[in-house]
Structures are given as structure tokens and as C-alpha cells.
Amino acid sequence: MSGARVSSISASSPAAGTDVAIGDELVSVNGREPTDIIEYQQLVDAAQVTLVLQREGRPLRHKVTITKAEGQPLGISIDSAVFDRIRTCDNHCSFCFIYQLPKGLRRSLYVKDDDFRLSFLYGNYTTLTRFTEFDLERVIEEKLSPLYVSIHTTNPHLRAEMLRNPRGATSLRWLRELLRAGIEVHAQVVVCPGVNDGEELEHTLQDVLTLYPELVSVALVPVGVSAYSEEQTMRSHDASEADAVIGLAEKYQRLARELLGRTVFYASDEFYLVAGRPTAPAESFESLDQAENGIGLVAAFIESFEGHREMDPLGTGFFQSVDGAPALGYRAPRMDHPTPLVDGPDGDGAVAVVTGEYAAPILRGLLDAHGFAQVRVIAVENRFFGGNIKVAGLLTGTDLARVLQDVPLATTCLLPDVCLSEGRFLDGLGLEDLPRPVTVVPTTGQDLRRSVTATLAKGLVHS
């Protein structure tokens, strides 16, 4: 049960100077008890907002009425997106990464949600196995769009088997209803070799074209298999299997463009890296709505590094546009602010980029091609999770500490902020636990290029 408490009040906002204080519990808005930040936002859009609040230490609730322009932000941030109980996932997917986490990590990492509200707010994926008629009515009435849906397979028997939930066989009926009502939906298929690939995958892509042609995009994503997986049927793709998935994606891209006038189907960048193929160019992507699935992430980074566009493709969902919706716990800030560039004791301007094994060769080629051959790229093997986990976003403080202890202190080490959540790595360590200082930079190409250029320039000045 999350509850709803005031976490901050914007200065010069309608709520500033009223009897609303940080820590107050929100009881009702205009006589209604909102169950989530979506409902709260709709209520506080009114020209007159009456809040009932409960303050610790006060025996009675107090009422605050605020008058403002209709649609003007109230200026109050709430500490939770969902005020009632988060709808947790009752599937037991064989490929679920949460089951592959070691013990002792942050408690929030073990929470599995299947809540359409978090899908709308933060881009979380829902299987629709807990979706109801009431939910459908609300989504349509409030136009909660886009949503993000996990398909995995359109074979009812196989879907129930993969989700280990009999409702998995029938829950895609809600997808049909959502699309019929004009709700935008992005979908994903986590491709598991020997399970839902090959003929099963082709059958799924055929069904999407015929049954769900309104889908905005469908991402084919490789299964992540850590060393902690206990599933005998789960394994990572080899190069030929990854190449076959790309082949199917490209085949159905052509069909979708011919039949629908849109690309629709995309294979994750990771498939291209495993297959040893160049990732797709930027012009082949119609949007970056599935960047967190690795769809166009490499292309966007390269475009940004080369100065063609300034963008951060990470962070799907609607929460950034919703007044008062917290990122905390769902898409928490990486850092309060990037760390400043630091000089080593000798101030020699040497610089190294620290990243995961997948990104390292891409960065090496990009730096070499743009005159930064002297910059070192340090690929960190992910021994904490093991398996095929090689992305920078899952690097831990433990693995970074192992590698960084051998890097000269005179070298400025640049670390992407995607490794962090509220300044902490997945294993709970912080920057202060590393054996040497690092400089955290936003995970965009332009920010990396600026940081590399500035560090090298400092070295020239000092010399």
C-alpha cells in the first residue's frame, strides 16, 4: 500500500503559502479519494481545488482550498504514483529477470508489477493477465495512451506455458479491445531460443499483421539469462540464432511497410551485436519509443555523438508530463546532478570511457572515427550477474571496483549515468565505494563527446 504524501511544493505556485506542508498525507481532492497520480492530476486541473490532508501530530484532518486558473499546475508533488496497492504480476515467466536476481539487493528490485497505470506513466510492460473490464473502461474514458504490452507469442497454449498462468492464453483479447478503441500500444516479444523463436516467432509476427495491425511498434528482444537462472529451458542466443531473428524482423518490416505503410517490427540492437552485424541506421527507425528495449539506442547515440541531434532516448512513459508524478521507484533519477570533471593528481588529461561489453566496440569505433584514438575504452565484464548480461545499465559497483583499481589515478574515468539510480548501483554500492574517483556523465553521445573534449583540453592546458 503506497499511500500519498506531499513530497515537495513549488515556490510561487498556487499551493505555496497555503496550509499544505511536506509530509502531509493526501486524503481527498474535491471530495474524491484518488487512487493514483493520474486521477489526482485530473482533479487538480480544476479552477478550485479542495484538499483534505492529515498531518502527523495533528489529531484532526484539515481542509485547504486553493483557487487558480483551470489547468494551471497546483505545484504539489506526491511521493507515489499509485496511492492504493500496486497491482503486482501473478505470472511466473520462465524468462523473468527478477527471478534471476541474487539475494540482498534493494527491495524495490524484486517487485513485479503488472499495472496498466504504470504502463501509461512509466512505460512498464503489462501482460494484461490482470486487466479487467473496469480497467478497459477507464483506459478508454481517460484516453490513457500509449500503453506497453508484452505479447511474447500469439499461440495461446504456448503463451500460458511461458507465463505459467492460464490467463495468458486469453488475455490478449484485451489488446484487441484497446486497439479497437484507438489506444496506442507498443508491444514486445521476449525471444527465447528453442521456445518462441523460429516458426513460433514467424507465426506471432503473422498474427500481429492480421489481428493487431494497429500496433505502433513491436520489439523483438533477446532473453537475458544471468548466472542465477535456474530455468533449464532458458539460454542465450548464439550468433546464427540472433541472425535468424533479425532476418524475420526485416522480412516483416518489408511486409508491414507494404501492407500498412509503417515499419512496425524491430529487432533489438543486442541481436545485431550478438550476430556480429552492424546495427540498423537512424533513418530506419520511425520513433524511439522502445529505446529501453534497445530499439535504435545505438543509432541514437551515434547520431547524438556526431551532433546530428541532441536527445536522450531513455525514459518512456508519460510521467515527465504529469504534474506531481514522481519518478522515484519507477524511473528514479540517475544522479541529482552529473559529477564535475576531475583532474588526476598529475593533471595529464588522460581519459578513459568505462562501459559494458556490448557498448565497448561501438565506442571504440566511434572515438577512432572522430579523432579520439588516444581515449581508452574500458570494457567491464559483468561477473556479478554473469550469463549474457553485457549492457552498461546493469553494471554494478562490485565489477567496476574490480576493474578501476588498476586504472592510474591520473586518468579521468567517464562513467555513464545509466549505471546508477539515485546515485546507487544495482548492488547498493555508491560512487564513494569505488577505489578511485569517476566522472558520471549523462548517457548521450553529445554529453560523452563534450566530456571527452573538455578532459583532453584540460590536459593540454596543464601541459
pLDDT, tens digit, 9 for 90 and up, residues 56-71:
989 899 999 999 999 9
Predicted confidence at residue 330, as pLDDT, reads: 53
Instruction: Give the model confidence (pLDDT) of 169-187 as tens digits.
Output: 999 999 999 999 999 999 9
Quick check: 314 pLDDT over 50?
A: no
pLDDT surpassing 90 at residue 49 = yes
> What is the rounded CA–CA span in Å between residue 305 and residue 113?
35
Q: Residue 319 — pLDDT band, cuts 50, 70, 90?
A: very low
Only one residue has cell 511521493, namely 79
pLDDT band at 375 (very low <50, low <70, confident <90, very high): very high
Q: Work out the average pLDDT over 361-379.
A: 96
Q: What pLDDT does residue 462 have?
A: 45
pLDDT per position as a tens digit, 5-23: 999 999 999 999 999 999 9
pLDDT of 269 > 80? The answer is yes
pLDDT given for residue 460 in this prediction: 53
Max CA pair span of the chain: 69
Per-residue confidence (pLDDT) for residue 338, from 0 to 100:
63
Cα–Cα dist 159/142, whole Å: 29
Does residue 104 or residue 364 have the better pLDDT? 364
- Res. 317: pLDDT tops 60: no
Q: β-pairing, 76-78 with 62-67?
A: unpaired
Q: Over the chain, what is the mean pLDDT?
A: 89
User: Taking 90 as the threshold, does the pLDDT of residue 459 lie above it?
Assistant: no
Query: What's the average model confidence in pLDDT over 104-109?
Result: 76
User: Tell me, what's the pLDDT at 80?
Assistant: 86
Bigger pLDDT: 118 vs 342: 118
Mean pLDDT of 243-255: 98
Q: Where residue 309 falls among pLDDT bands split at 50, 70, 90?
A: low
Cβ proximity of 205 and 368 under 8 Å: no
333 versus 182: the higher-pLDDT residue is: 182
The whole-number pLDDT of residue 105 equals 80
Share above pLDDT 70 across residues of the chain, in percent, rounded to a whole number: 90
CA quadruple 278, 282, 285, 289: dihedral positive or negative? positive
Check pLDDT > 60 for residue 313. Answer: no
Band (pLDDT 50/70/90 cuts) for residue 398 is: very high
pLDDT at 287 over 70: yes
Burial class (CB in 10 A: 0-12, 13-18, 19+), 53: buried
Please compute the mean of the pLDDT values over residues 205-230 and round it to a whole number.
96
User: pLDDT band for position 289 (50/70/90)?
Assistant: confident
CA distance 298 to 219: 15
pLDDT given at position 318: 44
pLDDT at 288: 84
* Average of per-residue pLDDT across 423-433: 92
pLDDT at residue 35 in the model:
93
Does 148 score more than 90 pLDDT? yes
Over residues 389-414, mean pLDDT: 94
The model's confidence at residue 329, banded by pLDDT at 50, 70 and 90, is: low
Question: How far is residue 277's CA from residue 271's CA, in Å, rounded to a whole number?
Answer: 8
What is the model's pLDDT at position 108?
73
The confidence score (pLDDT) of residue 333 equals 55
**Which residue, chain included where needed, has cell 579523432?**
371
CB within 8 Å of 452: residues ≥ 6 apart? 351, 353, 367, 372, 375, 414
For the segment 233-243, the average pLDDT, to the nearest whole number, is 95
